[in-house]
Chains A and B, each alone.
Chain A
């Protein structure tokens, strides 16, 4: 029986077909899905912040784009993935509130998405699809059998990337 495995905020998990990985309510956070289509192995990280380098409290590597993606790659390889076959799909990085004279902090979604793209590039992982930005939340379900990433929203449609 296929299971749907939940990944919480600032957490990451690896799973095999026929299971699915899911994370609910991504706002400024970004869901990073890595896939190796040969063994049908997938990983999902729900990152909250761009960089572990700037944080005072960086005890949880899964919270930050840079350290979470590195950790997810390591876990995928440990589970049997080939590094050079890994591809990525990402979703999230919205800006949920609008303020006059908005500070950097309020653009955290944009910064998260950028940090994820930069980290993927640094690790030479090909980004095959993305659905980021906007001002609305996303729930994502990663189907490890097909590599499809379903993106659900409230009032902004559903799509598969």
Chain B
């Protein structure tokens, strides 16, 4: 059974390319949602050991927003999109078309906007993946948590921790009016699912 730790350069490139295509589509969807131009790119794709994930998010007790979806169909996977709390505020500012620094608390509208971004980012990545693999992938309704990074992660990593010790991370950058907001998009396939994806992509060896 394949683990992310054993991926070749070619396999990583394939997953990264899907990330870029997904980001392009997500940007279009976001722009339609807020009726303004928002750029989205995936500047970095990396494979991380589970134990290094909290550091990437600024430490296990740093305050973050996490949006979580489960994927079912031909493969099983978990998707988690995480933003440091300050970045989440800036992203809400972008989405609501208010000046940077306006958003302080997260009310129902702010939470629902963030949930929708998680939804769009996940769905467009999955759509790009479906296009290349012809596999069936259906995302769940997103769940949202605002808490310590370690706490948000471990509930999800716990189920993944039974099988693998590495995760795929796509750094995702949003840009509007020269303001950048960076979040981390994690893909955690369930046992055997990575093999299914790679073989459907034609890069199984």
Contacts and interface: CB of A to CB of B under 8 A. Distances in A.
Interface of A: 8-10, 23-29, 48-49, 55-57, 63, 94-100, 105-106, 108-109, 112, 136-139, 152, 154
A1 to B, nearest CB: 22
A55 B149 CA distance: 25
Given A9-B51, A56-B191, A100-B141, A28 B148 contact: no
Interface in B55-104: 59-61, 63, 68
B154 A27 contact: yes
A112 B153 CA distance: 15
A29 B158 contact: yes
B159 A99 contact: no
B140 interface: yes
B5 interface: no
Q: Could you say which interface size class chain B belongs to? A: 20 to 34
B89 to A, nearest CB: 15
Nearest to A152: B61
A26 B154 contact: yes
B106 to A, nearest CB: 11
Interface in B151-203: 151-155, 157-159, 161-164, 191
A10 B128 CA distance: 34
B139 interface: no
Which 7 pairs, one residue from A and one from B, show the smallest C-beta to C-beta distance?
A25-B150, A137-B151, A27-B151, A25-B60, A137-B148, A24-B60, A97-B143
A23 to B, nearest CB: 8
Contacts of B60: 9, 23-25, 139
